[in-house]
Chains A and B, each alone.
Chain A
């Protein structure tokens, strides 16, 4: 089966610009996650969707980050305006179910964002 797709793979922008990332989860996976992974650290959950509803966005900097999952499939994550500290890899993951059984997460290749 096809894995989690993400685009673009790399993005370089200047601070105060805006950027958007796209994710297509594995077919049939109801749960979708966006993570931020700063170099040398573990992934940090930004937002979790169950179908097209938000389950957890407690660590999403809502003044500059936004995410949506229209029709419960694809998702986009936007940063506007970007700051230097947003430089990181943005990982999208999906799972068949939520917590408990079926919770194994499949990660996409990530988008490496550099803010200059």
Chain B
């Protein structure tokens, strides 16, 4: 079945630094979504990528969908303490009938 892997599992970042988290699918995806879950909270939708090679920006966050539509990345610049949380990617299979979440990247920010 479809598997979605995220690396790294944990990311310790100094405030002000940049980092990237990666998402890889075992199968080609029709689209991919990113969610953020604050400690003790529930996942909150960030963005959806649909087109091959698509790049979208939200302030300090840059999302990219791979050319083969099997991987994605989230890059955060100038990390702030408000960026603390777990970032999940969720891939929709090519048949468009199943959404699978990755294990998440837990981000900890050192002030």
Binding site for B on A (CB under 8 A): 41-45, 55-56, 91, 93, 99-100, 103-110
> Is chain B's binding surface mostly helix, strand, loop or mixed?
strand
Stretch at the interface among B13-21, B57-65, B69-77, B99-107: B99-107
Is A104's CB under 8 angstroms from B30's CB?
A: no
CB distance from A91 to the nearest CB of B (A): 6
Rounded to whole angstroms, the CA-CA distance of A91 and B101 in the bound complex is 13
CB distance from A57 to the nearest CB of B (A): 12
Q: Tally of A-B residue pairs with Cβ under 8 A?
A: 51
* Shortest 4 CB-CB contacts between residues of A and residues of B: A42-B101, A107-B42, A99-B96, A104-B45
Contact-size category for B: 20 to 34
Jot down 23 A-B pairs with beta carbons below 8 A, ordered by A.
A41-B104, A42-B6, A42-B90, A42-B101, A42-B102, A43-B88, A43-B101, A45-B99, A45-B100, A56-B98, A91-B42, A91-B43, A99-B96, A100-B31, A103-B92, A104-B33, A105-B33, A105-B45, A106-B45, A107-B43, A107-B44, A109-B42, A110-B42
Is A99's CB under 8 angstroms from B102's CB?
A: no
* B1-42 CB contacts (< 8 Å) to partner A: 4, 6, 30-31, 33, 35, 41-42
> Is chain A's binding surface mostly helix, strand, loop or mixed?
loop
Is A44's CB under 8 angstroms from B96's CB?
A: no
Q: CB-CB < 8 A to A91: which residues of B?
A: 42-43
